[in-house]
């Protein structure tokens, strides 16, 4: 029997080309010769490219998550006008839900995924009338082939940004743990109850931050949020004294003091008073979140994704030369509104209880899709690649619930008017308006906490302008997330769970009988071992960005596997020597190929 390997990069199956290796990478021979079966590297859990984001369908304010890939797998593993305001009428198809199509098609995966909800929130409610009606699920066709995680930063800017290293004290404590302690039985028990065990820390934030000058304090908007996700937090709290609570501190590093936050009995909190002053010369920074229990035990230190510092929103006509400030199709954004530019009046577009509304306390994240101008309104639509320009037709899809607004035309706002002929790229923190396509000058508008239609007034002196009110003027900004998931497989550890390893992609290295699997990511330490489901494998630490391991034989998971069997998907985990389990969010899939005479080989043709 023989097998072939299907290789999927983080975005899609693509023509194979040599991949840049981490700086620490040095060619080495790993262990004795072994026989390996072929496999699919399923990087679908990664969110480094929007074309593979997956959204499980619960409703809650913006949560990102790596979710299980979608597809047909046999999984038998153990543990298995002017002043006129109009309320949106019930018949208007204001929002839809959509889901991905099957893998292997030219479509991307957009159900509500890459984001997930904390357990204290309920799912979207249904109903007979607007705003509670939710239509049936459909798909979004997608053709992206670029990596938006690049941020298009200039080389000089990128070189100036250095992510803070882990604490030397923590690294010294980890080095003292010489041998792995987690047993196969303990791992198997965890896999049986994984949904009730995992603990996730989520840091949600904007991708840019405006600098403050002099004595002013321009607080980050929307405010960075910290979420606790997963049923494991509830199980953990049951084992702690009732007066022990989680205490988070958030800061931007540098000389600024960290700010203490309070969950207030909820599973999320917001850092509403963070700012960066003009004395701070950094062009990029990360948020730093330190979490403790009130009994003094440290949970760990967690970093956000990279945030770019800008002086102020550019009023000049943008060009794609400043691509890091532009907004690509298929990426996440937030929208907020400030009446008369007053900070206290800030409201965010949000989805809750099955409807769109304006919230003063929670902000939603929406995937913005560029669609063809001539595409009709439908539950299924094609998402085009490229950057969002004014005058373009777009779809806004809630990244949590999958609910979508009708087709919108994004328009530039200038001096209280929508500019009908502007066509420059949309930039970070620009003020824009959303015309509801094929209506009589109707715009997306907020009134109190309601989302309504507002009919704009034609400008008698300039046919290229339409008069709008403050409620139709939205500020747009790109958003990002950092997600850390772990489980204490052997009970509480005296060592912080950080640095939490993050696996970004999987790669096949070598050939023949010494084919190896490389895990490319960050925050790796020598005390980590790779597990395929409940099978530990020999692991080589190359550097903080690269681990290499062997690939176990398929018989370790299924004794009766044959060339007629369906693909077998196996989850990849990293386990620290003291028993801390880190799900990678990625999978390795064994796929049969008939007619190979029983030899176990890799067929690299599948990389094409």
Catalogue all structural domains in the chain, each as residue range(s) with its CATH number: 165-310 (2.60.40.1450)
Q: Is the pLDDT at 556 greater than 90, yes or no?
A: no
Confidence of residue 7 (pLDDT cuts 50, 70, 90): very low
Q: Is the pLDDT at 37 greater than 50, yes or no?
A: no
User: Rounded to a whole number, what is the distance in angstroms from the first to the last CA of the chain?
Assistant: 23
| Across 27-31, 320-324, 438-442, 495-499, least confident range | 27-31
CA distance 443 to 336: 15
| Residue 161: predicted pLDDT | 58
Closest CA to 99 of 130, 132, 141, 137: 137
| Residue 321: predicted pLDDT | 67
Q: Are 342 and 353 in contact (CB under 8 A)?
A: no
Say what the pTM is. 0.73
Q: Which tokens hold the place of 396?
A: 């806004």
- In three-state secondary structure terms, 316 is coil
Higher pLDDT, 567 or 455: 455
Q: Are 564 and 578 in contact (CB under 8 A)?
A: no
Confidence of residue 272 (pLDDT cuts 50, 70, 90): very high
Confidence of residue 245 (pLDDT cuts 50, 70, 90): very high
| Across 16-30, 103-117, 446-460, 575-589, least confident range | 103-117
What integer best gives the mean pLDDT of the chain?
74
| Mean pLDDT across 356-365 | 91
| Across 85-89, 283-287, 349-353, least confident range | 85-89
Confidence of residue 301 (pLDDT cuts 50, 70, 90): very high
| Residue 24: predicted pLDDT | 53
Q: Is the pLDDT at 489 greater than 90, yes or no?
A: yes
| Residue 209: predicted pLDDT | 95
Give the 3-state secondary structure percentages of the chain, helix then strand then coil, rounded to 5: 10, 35, 55
The DSSP line for 17-34 is -PPPPPTT------SS--
Q: Is the pLDDT at 391 greater than 90, yes or no?
A: yes
| Across 25-29, 476-480, 588-592, least confident range | 25-29
Beta bridge partners of 107: none
Confidence of residue 154 (pLDDT cuts 50, 70, 90): very low
Closest CA to 348 of 491, 204, 228, 145: 204
| Residue 118: predicted pLDDT | 32
| 283 Cβ neighbours under 8 A, 6+ residues apart | 157, 160, 161, 308, 309
Q: Is the pLDDT at 250 greater than 90, yes or no?
A: yes
Q: Is the pLDDT at 329 greater than 60, yes or no?
A: yes
Q: What is the pLDDT of residues 581-599, one digit of tens each?
A: 999 999 998 877 665 433 3
| Residue 560: predicted pLDDT | 66
- In three-state secondary structure terms, 479 is strand
| Mean pLDDT across 312-328 | 76
Confidence of residue 316 (pLDDT cuts 50, 70, 90): low
Query: Strand ranges (DSSP E) for 372-496?
Result: 381-383, 393-398, 408-414, 417-419, 431-436, 442-447, 450-455, 457-458, 465-467, 474-488
Confidence of residue 231 (pLDDT cuts 50, 70, 90): very high
Q: What is the pLDDT of residues 42-74, one digit of tens each?
A: 554 444 443 333 333 333 333 223 332 322 222
- In three-state secondary structure terms, 319 is coil
Q: What is the pLDDT of residues 404-453, one digit of tens each?
A: 999 999 999 999 899 999 999 999 999 999 999 999 999 999 999 999 99
| Residue 357: predicted pLDDT | 94
| 495 Cβ neighbours under 8 A, 6+ residues apart | 170, 173, 174, 177, 578
Q: What is the pLDDT of residues 361-382, one digit of tens each?
A: 889 999 999 999 988 888 888 8
Task: Report the helix count and the strand count for the chain, using DSSP H and E.
Answer: 4, 36
């Amino acid at each position: 029997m023989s097998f072939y390997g299907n290789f999927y990069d983080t975005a899609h199956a693509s023509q194979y080309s040599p991949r840049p290796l981490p700086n620490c990478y040095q060619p080495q021979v790993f262990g004795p010769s072994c026989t390996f079966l072929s496999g699919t590297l399923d990087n679908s859990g990664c969110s480094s490219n929007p074309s593979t984001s997956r959204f499980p369908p619960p409703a809650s304010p913006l949560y990102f998550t790596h979710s299980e890939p979608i597809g047909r797998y046999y999984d038998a593993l153990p543990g298995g006008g002017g002043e006129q305001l109009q309320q949106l009428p019930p018949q208007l198809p204001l929002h839809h839900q959509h889901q991905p199509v099957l893998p292997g098609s030219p479509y991307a995966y957009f159900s509500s995924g890459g984001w997930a909800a904390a357990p204290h929130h309920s799912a979207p409610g249904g109903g007979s009338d607007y705003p509670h009606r939710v239509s049936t699920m459909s798909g979004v066709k997608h053709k992206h082939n670029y990596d938006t995680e690049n941020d298009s930063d200039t080389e000089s800017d990128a070189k100036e940004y250095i992510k803070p290293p882990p604490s030397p004290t923590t690294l010294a404590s980890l080095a003292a743990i010489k041998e792995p302690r987690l047993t196969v039985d303990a791992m198997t028990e965890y896999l049986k109850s994984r949904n009730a065990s995992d603990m996730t820390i989520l840091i949600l934030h904007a991708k840019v931050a405006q600098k403050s000058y002099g004595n002013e304090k321009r607080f980050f908007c929307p405010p960075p949020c910290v979420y606790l996700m997963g049923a494991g937090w509830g199980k953990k709290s049951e084992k702690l004294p009732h007066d022990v609570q989680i205490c988070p501190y958030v800061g931007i590093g540098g000389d600024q003091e960290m700010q203490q936050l309070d969950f207030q009995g909820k599973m999320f909190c917001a850092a509403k008073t963070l700012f960066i002053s003009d004395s701070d010369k950094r062009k990029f920074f990360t948020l730093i979140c330190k979490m403790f229990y009130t009994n003094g035990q440290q949970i760990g230190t967690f970093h956000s994704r990279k945030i770019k510092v800008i002086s102020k929103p550019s009023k000049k006509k943008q060009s794609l030369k400043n691509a890091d400030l532009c907004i690509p199709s298929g990426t996440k954004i937030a929208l907020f509104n400030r009446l008369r530019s007053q900070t206290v009046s800030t409201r965010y577009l949000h989805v809750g209880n099955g409807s769109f509304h304006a919230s003063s306390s929670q902000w939603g994240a929406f995937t913005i899709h560029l669609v063809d101008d001539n595409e009709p309104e439908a539950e299924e639509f094609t998402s085009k690649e490229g950057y969002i320009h004014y005058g373009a037709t777009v779809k806004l899809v809630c990244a949590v619930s999958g609910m979508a607004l009708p087709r919108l035309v994004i328009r530039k706002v200038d001096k209280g008017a929508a500019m009908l002929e502007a066509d420059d790229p949309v930039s970070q923190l620009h003020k824009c308006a959303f015309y509801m396509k094929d209506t009589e000058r109707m715009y997306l508008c907020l009134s109190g906490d309601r989302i309504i239609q507002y009919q704009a007034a034609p400008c008698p002196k300039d046919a290229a302008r339409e008069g709008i009110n403050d409620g139709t003027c939205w500020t747009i900004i790109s958003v990002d997330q950092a997600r850390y998931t772990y489980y204490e497989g052997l009970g509480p550890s005296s060592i912080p769970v950080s640095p939490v390893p993050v696996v970004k992609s999987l790669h096949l290295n070598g050939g023949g009988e010494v084919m190896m699997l490389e895990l490319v990511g960050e925050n790796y330490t020598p005390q980590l071992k790779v597990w395929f489901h409940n099978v530990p494998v020999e692991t080589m630490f190359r550097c903080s960005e690269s681990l290499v391991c062997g690939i176990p034989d398929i018989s370790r998971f299924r004794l009766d596997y044959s060339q007629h069997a369906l693909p077998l998907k196996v989850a990849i985990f990293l386990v620290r020597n003291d028993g801390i389990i880190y799900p990678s969010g990625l999978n390795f899939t064994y796929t049969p190929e008939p007619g190979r005479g029983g030899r176990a080989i890799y067929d690299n043709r599948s990389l094409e």
